[in-house]
């Protein structure tokens, strides 16, 4: 969109906060109140799973040290709480595909240190029946925006669901792993394209990492280069209150 057209549209439709709708100075932005209430992943996060770690300089969390994930690095923008959770749910379930533009830009900035020349950008896939009902894959929208800003190749159909899996809300880590066992594969059409090339896999929410693990393993089994994962939001365990530690 040209600057002139943007100014014309802003004249008819003044920019509004993407979270609460109050007027703001520029498009695709948060107002001051929503910005203050949006929990971002801190700079000192585990490079393996993007969970916040106690202090800068930590090499990672204990879980990743004991069971390293099948990817090189993980990045996330938001903690899945409050305003951040509301934004993710609107993108995912409320037909707010317009949110992919600003949120994808945030995701690109978070993933930028881990991007490599020649990297393929691919979303976590939806099963065709779920895609037909939802009408779009929110992870593919985010991946497209990220790839455009990064100047990388976006392959939205790189991965596919071999079968429909149960919704994973409320499942344990072990249940999620069993639910996804053998459920994601690399499309054979792209076997030659992915061979030896680094891959960035994009998802909307990283919870236990089971879905991204299945995607990364499918890429590596097909002969890809290093895999990096990027999620818009990271589910983090609640921190204990001060009174609970006294």
CB 120 within 8 A of CB 197: yes
DSSP-assigned letter for residue 98:
G
Is 50 exceeded by the pLDDT of residue 244? no
Measure the CA–CA gap between 219 and 34, rounded to whole angstroms. Answer: 38
Residues in the chain, total: 246
Q: Which residues contact 24 (CB under 8 A, 6 or more apart)?
A: 15, 16, 17, 30, 31
Q: Strands across the sheet with 120-123, in order?
A: 73-79, 227-234, 199-206, 120-123, 153-154
Burial readout 188-213 (b: 16 or more C-beta within 10 A, e: otherwise): eebeeebeebbbbbbbbbbbbbbbbb
pLDDT in tens, 71-82: 999 999 999 999
Q: Return contacts of 181-184, CB within 8 angstroms, 24+ apart.
A: 181/214, 183/214, 184/125, 184/159, 184/160, 184/211, 184/214, 184/215, 184/218
Give the pLDDT band (50/70/90) at residue 221: very high
pLDDT in tens, 231-241: 999 998 754 44
Nearest to 51 by CA among 38, 36, 69: 69
* Sheet strands (E) in the chain: 73-79, 120-123, 153-154, 159-161, 184-186, 199-206, 227-234
pLDDT of residue 237: 75
pLDDT in tens, 178-192: 666 667 899 999 999
The SS3 call for residue 174 is helix
183's enclosing H/E stretch is: none
pTM: predicted TM-score of the whole model, two decimal places: 0.86
pLDDT of residue 127: 82
pLDDT in tens, 36-49: 999 999 988 999 99
pLDDT of residue 243: 39
pLDDT in tens, 132-176: 788 899 999 999 999 999 999 999 999 998 876 656 666 666 766
């Amino acid at each position: 969109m040209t600057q002139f057209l943007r100014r014309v549209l802003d004249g008819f439709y003044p920019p509004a906060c993407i979270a609460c709708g109050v007027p703001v100075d520029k498009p695709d932005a948060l107002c001051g109140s929503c910005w203050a209430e949006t929990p971002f992943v801190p700079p000192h996060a585990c490079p393996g799973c993007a969970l916040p770690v106690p202090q800068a300089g930590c090499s990672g969390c204990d879980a990743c040290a004991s069971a390293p994930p099948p990817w090189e690095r993980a990045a996330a923008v938001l903690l899945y709480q409050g305003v951040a959770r509301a934004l993710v749910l609107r993108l995912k379930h409320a037909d707010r595909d317009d949110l992919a533009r600003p949120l994808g830009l945030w995701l690109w900035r978070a993933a930028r240190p881990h991007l490599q020349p020649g990297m393929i950008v691919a979303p976590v896939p939806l099963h065709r029946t779920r895609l037909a009902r939802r009408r779009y894959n929110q992870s593919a929208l985010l991946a497209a925006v990220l790839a455009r800003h990064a100047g990388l190749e976006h392959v939205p159909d790189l991965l596919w669901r071999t079968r429909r899996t149960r919704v994973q809300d409320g499942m344990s880590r072990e249940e999620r792993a069993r639910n996804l066992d053998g459920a994601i594969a690399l499309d054979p059409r792209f076997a030659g394209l992915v061979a030896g090339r680094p891959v960035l896999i994009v998802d909307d929410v990283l919870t236990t990492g089971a879905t991204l693990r299945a995607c990364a393993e499918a890429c590596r089994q097909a002969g890809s280069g290093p895999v990096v994962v990027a999620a818009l939001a990271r589910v983090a365990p609640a921190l204990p209150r001060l009174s609970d530690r006294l």
